[in-house]
C-alpha cells in the first residue's frame, strides 16, 4: 500500500509529527526556540538530507512532536534537494502514522513551486517503496498519511504529477525485483495487460505463433534455449486530443539472462533478473501517460524472453534473420539483448514515428565506461540528445553521451552473414552494441539508445533508491514527453 499524500492549507490541529524544512543559511537557534549550545551539541546544521527530532517536552516542543529536515544552502538547491528530502523523511518517519510537513513556506520562488512540490512528493513516494511481496514476516509500514502544508494550483499539480510518475517508477521497480523464475515472459505480459486496462491503453500481445508470423528471428533465436514461450507486447497511448507527434519506446525484456550457451559466471548471473529493466521502464512510463494527460501519441514495444541454455539453444555460429531481413551471425549468445531489440526496432521503424527511444540493460562495457550511476546515451540526432539531456537535468537521472563512430562499424562485419552480434576487440563494447542497434532503425527516424545496465539496478542502496530495481528512465521519459509538447 502506498502512502496517502494530501495538500492542506494549514497545520492540522492534530499531527503525530510536524516537520519543518530548513535551509542551512537561513535558520538560527532562536527560530527553533533552542539555545545555541543544545543545537550545536545535536550536530544538526540543516545540511541537505539531515534530520533531527526535537524533544517533546520543554519550551521547544511547540506542543506536538516535531522534526527539522535540512535542505542545505538556499542558493544551491534544485529539484534533487527536495526529492532527497522527501526520501529521507519517508524513511525517518516510518514509525509515525500521520505526519505533516511545512513546504510552501520554504519555497520563496513561485516559478519553481510546482517542480519542487513534485520532487518532494516523488521523494516521499519513492522513499516509502519496499519490495516485500515475497517476505512472510514483515511489519506493515505505519506511515500512512503525509499532509503537505500549502495551497494553490501549482502545488496541487506538482503533487498530482508526482503521484503518477512515482506509481510508474514503483511499478518498474516491482517488475525488476520479481525473480526471473516468477516473472516469466507470459507473467510480464499479464502485468502489461492489467496495466493497460487500468490506464485506458490499448495493447496487443503476440504469442509464439504470432511472433513466428511476424518474422522476429532475433527474439525466436534467443528464446530457443528456453522452456518458456516468448511474448511481444505492443502497448499504445492516444491522447484525447489528436496529437501531431508520435513517439516509439522500445524496452529490452530479457526476464532472466543466463547468457545462453555462452553462459555467464554464477556471479555475473546473480542479478540478471534485472535484464528486463528497459521493458519495465517502458511499461512504467506508459502507465503514467494517461494520468498525466500528456498530449503525445506513444507506442511501447516490448520483446520478452529469457536467455537460457536448453538442448536446442542457439549455438555460437548460428545465423538469425531479423524482421527487417538482415541476417546476424551469433558469435556470443550472451549478447542477446541486441537481437531482441533488433526485431523491436525494425517493427517500430515501420510505423514511421517521429522518434524512437530504446532502453536496455545492454552491456557490462557501459558500466565499465560510466560506472553505476550514469546511463550511456547514443543517438543519431542532436535535437533528441539535447531534449533528453534537458529532461535528465530536471529529473536527476544522469545520462552521458557516447559516440557512434562509423569507423567502428567494421568491427561488426561477419564472414557469413550481414552482421555479427559482437565487436571484434575487447574495447568499446557499449558503442559496438549501439552501432549494432543502429542497423535496425530506419535511417530517417531520429533515434536514441539508453544503455541503463548501470543505473537500473542498485547493488546497494544508492541516492533515493533502495537496493534492487530503481525504475531508472521512467521519470526521465515522462519529463521528456512532457517537454515535447
Which residues are at the interface with ligand BES (CB under 6 A)?
Answer: 257, 275, 332, 334-337, 361-365, 422, 429, 453
Residue 274's nearest CA partner among 342, 183, 176 is 176
Other beta carbons within 10 Å of 267 = 7
Q: Answer yes or no: are the C-beta atoms of 380 and 402 closer than 8 Å.
A: no
First to last CA, the chain: 33
55 Cβ contact partners less than 8 Å away, ≥ 6 residues apart: 61
Binds 394: which of ligand BES, Zn ion, none (CB < 5-8 Å by kind): none
Q: How far is the CB of 391 from ligand BES (least distance, A)?
A: 23
Residue 365 site contact among Zn ion, ligand BES, none (CB < 5 to 8 Å, cut-off depends on kind): ligand BES
Determine, following the binding rule CB under 5 A, whether residue 334 of this chain makes contact with Zn ion. yes
Interaction of residue 337 with Zn ion, rule CB under 5 A: yes
Q: Which is nearer to Zn ion, 123 or 337 (CB)?
A: 337
- Say whether 190 is catalytic: no
Q: How far is the CB of 156 from ligand BES (least distance, A)?
A: 39
Q: Which of Zn ion, ligand BES, none does residue 195 bind (CB under 5 to 8 Å by kind)?
A: none
Strand partners, 148: 7, 101
**364: partner contacted, choices Zn ion, ligand BES, none (Cβ within 5-8 A by kind):** ligand BES
For residue 14, the SS3 value is coil
Contacted entry of Zn ion, ligand BES, none for residue 453, CB cut-off 5 to 8 Å set by kind = ligand BES
**By C-beta, is 237 or 256 nearer to ligand BES?**
256
Binding to Zn ion by CB under 5 A, coded x per residue (else -) over 275-304, reads x-----------------------------
Stretch that binds Zn ion, among 333-341, 376-384, 396-404, 425-433 (CB under 5 A): 333-341
Give the residue with the Cβ less far from Zn ion, 164 or 307.
307
Is the Cβ–Cβ distance between 35 and 42 less than 8 Å? no
- Indicate the residue whose CB is closest to ligand BES: 364
Kindly state the smallest distance separating residue 173's Cβ from ligand BES, in Å: 16
Burial annotation 106-129 (CB, 10 A radius, 16+ → b, else e): bbeeeebbbbbbbbbbbbbbbbbb
Catalytic residue among 141, 190, 215, 264: 264
Q: Rounded to 5 degrees, what angle do the CA atoms 162, 163, 165 make?
A: 60
89, 124 Cβ separation under 8 angstroms: yes
**Residue 182 DSSP one-character state:** T
Q: Which of 84, 178, 252, 338 is catalytic?
A: 338
Which listed option, ligand BES, Zn ion, none, makes contact with residue 239 (CB within 5 to 8 Å by class)? none
Position 439 contacts Zn ion (CB under 5 A):
no
Look up residue 69 and give its DSSP letter: E
Q: How far is the CB of 170 from ligand BES (least distance, A)?
A: 21
Closest distance of CB 304 from ligand BES, Å: 14
- To the nearest whole angstrom, how small is the minimum distance from the Cβ of residue 212 to ligand BES? 23
Tell me which residues in 243-282 interact with Zn ion (CB under 5 A): 254, 257, 275
- Count residues contacting Zn ion (CB under 5 A)? 6
The interface region with Zn ion, picked from 1-9, 235-243, 336-344, 472-480 by CB under 5 A, is 336-344
User: What is d(CA 94, CA 111) in angstroms, rounded to the nearest whole number?
Assistant: 31
Distance between alpha carbon 5 and the CA centroid of its chain, in Å? 22
Cell of 393: 537535468
**Does residue 338 carry a catalytic annotation?**
yes
Burial of residue 392 (CB within 10 Å: 0-12, 13-18, 19+) is buried
Q: Which is nearer to ligand BES, 402 or 481 (CB)?
A: 402
Query: Of 391 and 431, which CB lies nearer to ligand BES in the complex structure?
Result: 431
Identity of the residue, 362 or 417, whose beta carbon is nearer to ligand BES in the bound complex: 362
Q: Do 99 and 146 meet the contact criterion of CB atoms below 8 Å apart?
A: yes
Q: Concatenate the DSSP letters of all residues of 217-232 into one string.
A: HHHHHHHTT-SSPPEE
Q: Nearest approach, Cβ of 364 to Zn ion (angstroms)? A: 9
For residue 294, give the nearest of 168, 403, 414 by alpha carbon: 168
Of 345-404, which residues contact Zn ion (CB under 5 A)? none
Return the one option of ligand BES, Zn ion, none that residue 285 interacts with (CB less than 5 to 8 A, by type): none
Sequence-separated (6 or more) residues with CB below 8 Å from residue 424: 411
Report how far residue 319's alpha carbon sits from residue 221's, in angstroms, rounded to the nearest whole number.
9
Residue partners of 340: CB distance under 8 A and separation at least 6: 218, 219, 222, 252, 253, 254, 303, 305
Active site residues: 264, 338
- Which positions touch Zn ion (CB under 5 A)? 254, 257, 275, 334, 336-337
Amino acid at each position: 500500500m502506498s502512502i496517502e499524500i494530501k495538500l492542506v492549507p494549514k497545520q492540522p490541529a492534530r499531527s503525530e509529527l510536524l516537520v519543518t524544512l530548513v535551509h542551512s543559511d537561513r535558520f538560527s537557534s532562536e527560530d527553533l526556540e533552542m539555545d545555541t549550545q543544545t543545537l550545536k551539541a545535536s550536530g544538526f546544521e540543516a545540511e541537505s538530507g539531515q534530520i533531527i527530532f526535537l524533544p517533546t517536552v520543554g519550551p521547544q516542543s511547540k506542543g506536538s512532536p516535531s522534526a527539522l529536515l535540512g535542505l542545505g544552502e538556499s542558493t544551491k538547491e534544485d529539484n534533487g534537494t527536495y526529492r532527497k528530502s522527501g526520501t529521507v523523511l519517508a524513511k525517518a518517519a516510518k514509525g509515525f502514522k500521520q505526519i505533516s510537513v511545512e513546504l510552501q513556506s520554504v519555497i520563496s520562488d513561485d516559478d519553481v513551486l510546482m517542480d519542487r512540490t513534485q520532487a518532494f512528493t516523488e521523494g516521499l513516494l519513492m522513499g516509502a517503496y519496499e519490495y516485500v511481496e515475497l517476505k512472510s514476516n514483515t511489519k506493515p509500514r505505519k506511515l500512512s498519511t503525509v499532509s503537505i502544508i500549502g495551497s494553490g494550483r501549482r502545488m496541487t499539480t506538482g503533487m498530482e504529477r508526482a503521484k503518477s510518475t512515482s506509481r510508474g517508477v514503483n511499478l518498474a521497480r516491482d517488475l525488476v525485483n520479481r525473480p526471473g523464475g516468477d516473472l516469466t515472459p507470459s507473467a510480464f505480459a499479464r502485468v502489461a495487460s492489467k496495466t493497460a486496462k487500468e490506464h485506458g491503453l490499448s495493447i496487443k500481445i503476440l504469442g509464439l505463433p504470432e511472433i513466428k508470423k511476424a518474422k522476429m528471428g532475433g527474439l525466436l533465436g534467443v528464446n530457443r534455449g528456453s522452456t518458456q514461450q516468448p511474448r511481444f507486447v505492443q502497448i499504445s497511448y492516444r491522447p484525447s486530443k489528436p496529437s501531431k507527434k508520435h513517439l516509439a519506446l522500445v524496452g529490452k525484456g530479457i526476464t532472466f539472462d543466463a547468457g545462453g550457451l555462452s553462459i555467464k559466471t554464477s556471479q555475473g548471473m546473480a542479478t540478471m533478473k534485472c535484464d528486463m529493466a528497459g521493458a519495465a521502464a517502458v511499461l512504467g512510463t506508459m502507465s503514467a501517460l494517461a494520468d498525466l494527460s500528456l498530449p503525445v501519441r506513444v507506442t511501447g514495444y516490448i520483446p520478452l524472453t529469457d536467455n537460457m541454455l536448453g538442448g536446442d539453444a542457439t549455438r555460437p555460429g548460428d545465423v538469425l534473420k531479423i524482421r527487417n531481413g538482415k541476417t546476424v551471425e551469433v558469435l556470443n549468445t550472451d549478447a542477446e539483448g541486441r537481437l531482441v531489440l533488433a526485431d523491436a526496432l525494425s517493427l517500430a521503424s515501420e510505423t514511421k514515428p517521429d522518434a524512437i527511444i530504446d532502453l536496455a540493460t545492454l552491456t557490462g562495457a557501459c558500466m565499465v565506461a560510466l560506472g553505476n550511476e550514469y546511463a550511456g546515451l547514443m543517438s543519431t540526432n542532436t535535437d533528441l540528445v539535447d531534449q533528453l539531456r534537458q529532461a535528465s537535468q530536471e529529473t536527476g537521472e544522469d545520462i552521458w553521451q557516447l559516440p557512434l563512430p562509423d569507423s567502428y562499424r567494421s568491427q561488426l562485419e561477419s564472414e557469413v552473414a550481414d552482421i555479427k552480434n559482437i565487436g571484434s576487440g575487447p574495447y568499446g563494447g557499449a558503442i559496438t552494441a549501439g552501432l549494432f542497434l543502429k542497423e535496425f532503425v530506419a535511417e530517417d527516424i531520429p533515434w536514441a539508445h539508453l544503455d541503463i545496465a548501470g543505473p537500473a539496478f542498485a547493488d546497494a542502496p544508492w541516492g533515493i533508491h533502495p537496493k534492487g530495481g530503481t525504475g531508472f528512465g521512467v521519470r526521465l521519459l515522462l519529463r521528456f514527453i512532457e517537454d515535447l509538447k
